[in-house]
Amino acid sequence: VKASGPALSRVTTKLEEVTVAVAEAEKGRATQEQAAAKHLADQALSTQGLQKQLTNLGTSLSAKLEASGGGAASHGEAADRATAASIDRLAHDVAQLALLLKPL
């Protein structure tokens, strides 16, 4: 069956419309993917900054505890040790989170 001029023109027009729609959809998807990638990168940087702050705080508390010397620990020193341990655990958890986010 041979297509007539008007029918072929309608098919060509529809094909061009579909091609434009697909191109626009792909452009929108690429824009969304770029925005998502930037958001994840920002989150990873924020997580790394938090990890560094927590590590510094843990180091500072550990140094403070070492400087306080041995002997019987006061209630405040025991609390400082517990806080330092909590911060160390939190820093470890944040580091693990950063590793999980890195591939994204």
Q: How far apart are CA 45 and CA 102, in angstroms?
A: 10
Domain boundaries, the chain: 5-101
Instruction: Indicate the pLDDT class of residue 23, thresholds 50, 70 and 90.
Output: very high
Q: If you ran DSSP here, which 8-state letter would residue 72 be given?
A: S
pTM of the complete model: 0.47
CA 89 to chain CA centroid, Å, is: 20
**For position 75, what pLDDT does the model report?**
66
| 46 close to 65: Cβ distance less than 8 angstroms | no
pLDDT tier at 74 (50, 70, 90 boundaries)?
low
- Judged against a pLDDT cut of 80, whether residue 62 lies above it is answered with no
Fill in the DSSP letter of residue 1: -
Taking the C-alpha atoms of residue 20 and residue 10, their distance in angstroms, rounded to an integer, is 15
User: For 80-91, what is each residue's pLDDT tens digit?
Assistant: 778 878 887 887
Question: What is the Rg, in whole angstroms, of the alpha carbon atoms belonging to the chain?
Answer: 30
**Checking phi first, is residue 45 left (phi over 0); if not, alpha (psi -120 to 50) or beta?**
alpha
